[in-house]
Structure 1
């Protein structure tokens, strides 16, 4: 495994944005928690924001990294025949992007999972020789058979589980890249869900659908369960560029298994926790208990990047003039030997009761912005579902609201995608007409990217 100097190790900071003032008897406290990691990886794709709290170095040097690329080789990959060639080229491009010293493997996925390289249930270590051998092995990839994605994920999990820990003894980055062009027709939804449950927390996975014959909710569900990204590559000729970007981001990750730990005092409870930037991901149901009145929410692997989380806390009623700590937010790195985890950084969420109506009714701009972004993702999904089921009035209302929210928040990318599904009459009021004809790729792109958000303008 590659060894890296401590200069590559990121620092974490936590910043809390909220209106801490509540009216007498008020119980709901909302805060946006910005977590920023700097000075580590090379991804740097997300703009950094927020004034820094006291940052903390991650201990003990950078862990090793391991990546498994899962390529759909089902029969449909031969239609058109260029699709399989594009998939081979994309996998070769991803292999070229691996850093020396990273452990890797390639898996061919059909109704069974087959190791393409290096084989024998092990990982190769990237260097010029192994990269050349892996690309030679890709020539043996051919299309034929069905699709059972759960078997691909379980094989990736076994392979990644064989990777060594990093030089510090900490768990290394364990990452999957999964490409599919069709629906998961050769295993039950329950089998795929069981595979995802078994793999969750063991590795992260980016999922891509190529063409337009795959199921958006399957691909986004895989990425969501495994804390990765999902996207559509409608034209297979775009695969190589997309795979290169994915691998560059994976190579930029430096710290695995970071958790957001929320502690609440007696009488207070967490209502929900959502990642709201760079995309919406509800983490509420993923809580694991972490001692008295504390719970951990997984955030996956980090490089140079910044993410925002919306934390909502229900506190006991109190009289005017009282104040309390509503929640303590810590960033936690587990100890692989089972000892006490290390707190990387922390922030505080407060509640202060006041009779100043202006103070208690003011909505923090970050909270308002991300509440709108979460609603935007929801109404796009509801609108597209209504459209598919033939409820055109419902679809028009929901997608109109989406256009209104996208315009108000400056989410130009989503607004552009919406304009391919509806004719916008007035963006400010959300007045739209459904287009009579919509290209399948445009509708699938909107659905796949509906959870992508823009950050609040500082």
Structure 2
């Protein structure tokens, strides 16, 4: 049985009349077990492969091999399906036209799916909204799935449907299943694919070389199969008269959950966190309280991790009003660290967008600030990726120069890594 624990990091002291409380809540899970085998119901996996004409021979062959590798890592007994996507979405396996659109994994179905994948050919355009719509229908065709996850691979832009059609498909899929997205090569758009991954509680990354696809798919499927806890929610209770200013996941990636809350009762909101394996995640919570005078104290928030109606752990966020400036002026190290990491993600994305539009002045300013924050917060991965896009003259002051002739893959790698954070604690 999975064990969840929580810890709260904050400076609970506020000055006379102070209102805003910040806290980092760390939640850890151990003993999660295997997806569909130790949780509350069956798990389902869908592999979505871009088979549009732009995939060409090399990418298509690598994608087929990677999809077969992913099949090898799906646990027996798991429901699964394989989708081929271009301007339409095709159910490649199982080959059915009605009824259940997924089958349980075993030696026979794995071999049949591999054979179906072997016939993939690159042809047609790209309409990822259609792919998501089919995936949702396939998951819905199996009524008892507690856990639903898909891997989506593409190599290009969404040319064959309107942005509104893709947005509608994403919106209709929110809360229905999770998607990890990977882009192979450099002809796809990071913001477009990130919009799918973020909305559907997944990840996005670049696979610069098709030879790396097999390892990437193996790692994604292994991680998914290790998520034995399905559909957990972060519940935040606040006292009467208080206001939640934001709720963000800040590790291992930055994800703003603020607009995703669903009321549990008049004082409690539940924010989706998806499925869990053996891991730790950090959340940044900011609550505004009615101002109080020196000497008073109150509970600012109760943060819980719940699966269904069962609360598995909780942390308490507190507030105490003091006249001692030595206490009230302190910034909690964890809060400061993750505030910097969140700003770093925004600075990278805004800097790259400005660079793409030809606004070199803004790009230099934003990426300079990013370099400053990356070094200050100890984000070695972001620093290394920034050095491939800018020359860092002085990281302490954020003085950088844009490099000329930057490899597009390096820019995209920096963009996809922008939301990945480093932890302040070991």
Which residue number corresponds to residue 174 of structure 2?
200
Q: Is the aligned partner of 1:64 residue 2:42?
A: yes
1:112-151 matches, cutoff 5 A: 112-120=88-96, 121-151=100-130
How do residues 59-208 of structure 1 correspond to structure 2 at under 5 angstroms?
61-78=39-56, 81-120=57-96, 121-165=100-144, 171-208=145-182
Matched residue, 1:233: 207
CA gap of 1:60–1:254, structure 2 versus 1, over 3 A, is: closer
Structure 2 Cα separation of the partners of residues 134 and 225 of structure 1:
29
Assess if the C-alpha contact under 8 Å between 1:71 and 1:87 holds in 2. yes
Equivalent positions of 1:53-452 (< 5 A) are: 61-78=39-56, 81-120=57-96, 121-165=100-144, 171-334=145-308, 341-452=309-420
Partner Cα distance (2:314, 2:108) in 1: 44
Displacement of 1:119 in angstroms is: 2.2
Deviation of 1:415 after TM superposition, in Å, equals: 0.4
SS in 1 for 2:265: coil
Residues in 2 aligned to 1:395 and 1:300: alpha-carbon distance in whole angstroms:
34
Superposed CA deviations along residues 193-246 of structure 1, whole A, max 9, x for unmatched, are 111111111111100111100011111111000001110001111100100000
Over the aligned positions, Cα root-mean-square deviation in angstroms equals 1.4
Residue from 12, 17, 22 that aligns with 2:14: 22
Deviations 1:148-180 (A, max 9, x none): 111111111111123353xxxxx5221011001
CA contact (8 A) 1:12 1:35 kept: yes
Distance 1:255 1:457 in 2: 25
- SS of residue paired to 1:173: strand
Matched, 1:12 2:25: no
- Contact between 1:386 and 1:392, CA under 8 Å: does it hold in 2? yes
TM-score, structure 1 as length reference: 0.90
Gaps of 5+ in 2: none
Q: Report the 3-state secondary structure (helix = DSSP H, G, I; strand = E; otherwise coil) of the residue aligned with 1:290.
A: strand
Partner of 2:421: 453
Instruction: Give the match's secondary structure for 1:402.
Output: helix
Deviation string 1:333-381 (CA, Å, 9 cap, x unpaired) is 22xxxxxx11111111111000010100101110000000000001001
Distance in 2, Cα, partners of 1:244 & 1:163: 25
Contact 1:164–1:172 at 8 Å: present in 2 too? no
Task: Give the corresponding residue for 1:4.
Answer: none
Supply the distance in 2 between the matched residues of 1:223 and 1:394 (Cα, whole angstroms).
Answer: 27
Structure 1, 235-244 or 385-394: larger mean CA deviation: 385-394
Kept in 2: contact 1:64–1:164 (CA 8 A): no
Checking the alignment, whether the CA contact within 8 Å between 1:25 and 1:318 is kept in structure 2 is: yes
> Does the residue aligned with 1:443 lie in a helix, a strand or coil?
helix
Gaps of 5+ in 1: 1-8, 44-58, 166-170, 335-340
Q: How far apart are the structure 2 equivalents of 1:332 and 1:189? A: 35
Contact 1:272-1:313 at 8 Å conserved across structures: yes
Alignment match, 2:30: 38
Does structure 1 retain, via aligned residues, the 8 Å contact 2:157–2:187? yes
Q: 1:298-332 CA deviation, whole Å, 9 max, x = no partner?
A: 10110111100000000000000000111111112
1:230-269 deviations in whole A, cap 9, x for unaligned? Answer: 1000111110010000000110111111111111111111
SS of residue matched to 2:125: coil
Shift of 1:61: 4.6
Aligned residues, how many? Answer: 422
Q: CA deviation at 1:428?
A: 1.9
d(CA) in 2 for partners of 1:156 and 1:267? 42
How far 1:287 sits from its partner (Å)? 1.1
Give, in angstroms, the shift of residue 62 of structure 1.
5.0
